[in-house]
Amino acid sequence: MPVNLAFHDTDAVLAEKLAADLSAAKISGPGTVLVALISTASAGNPDVLRQIDEAADSGQHVIPLRLDDTPLPRVINHLDALDLRDGAYPFDAIKKRVTELTAPNAPRPLTTHTASLRQSNRRAAIVVALIAVAVFAVGLYGVGVLGIHAPQDEFDAIETQRVNQRNTLIAPTLEPLIPVGQFAVSQFELTVSAVPTRLREFLIGTVTATAQGTYIPSPTPRATATPEG
């Protein structure tokens, strides 16, 4: 029979009756399901919880039968339980659920966070953390002790290209726009709004650097403001 039962000893009478009725129904699907009788006693029983975890880990469907108002165990609390409270015994509904979930076209059960899966996730997290710490330590040792750094030739080539672009393209274009003298400075906002948008960032940055005393290369001598007499 493709049906296993998980129950506490206090629910053995009901479990035996259910097992006999399911056997008589001759359900012959290829799948295997676990029917879990959930009561106050079984919900806290380690053996019942272990059976539920093992079924979930092995990819089996679990059919919870609620015998009282006890909440379903966390591993299966997303499932729709059949109600057997107050002496109810909806065997037709149970048989239908078992038949559906043991059929060849039955949907795959949802993955749940069982105890073994959580333990596996913790082990994986520890391994990843150890690898990250090891890589960081090796990098720190390489830079701090061995003096490993980016190739100087590559850095020089990129820096030279950047400086050449600045000196030959950006600086000559911005040179006439850089304010010289108090009046030009006072009109700088109008100057910025008049230049093409693509040049505004460079212009503002250049003028700011000049005001802060940062060297700005210039292809031609810069004019200086005439002291106001």
Statement: residue 223 has pLDDT above 70 = no
- Please tell me the number of Cα atoms within 13 Å of 149 on its side-chain side: 7
- Supply the mean pLDDT for the chain: 83
State the Rg of the chain over Cα.
Answer: 38
Query: Hey, what amino acid is at 140?
Result: L
Mean pLDDT of 31-49: 93
Please state the pTM of the whole predicted model: 0.54
Helix (H, G, I), strand (E, B) or coil at 3: strand
- Domain ranges for the chain, please list them: 3-102, 115-149, 152-211
The model's confidence at residue 212, banded by pLDDT at 50, 70 and 90, is: low
pLDDT (tens digit per residue) in 133-168: 999 999 898 888 888 877 888 888 888 888 787 777
181: left (phi over 0), alpha (psi -120 to 50) or beta: left
Mutual angle of helices 12-24 and 91-102, in 10-degree steps: 60
Statement: residue 81 has pLDDT above 60 = yes
Are 32 and 104 within 8 A, CB to CB? no
Fold of 3-102: Rossmann fold (3.40.50)
The model's confidence at residue 38, banded by pLDDT at 50, 70 and 90, is: very high
pLDDT (tens digit per residue) in 8-34: 999 999 999 999 999 898 887 677 899
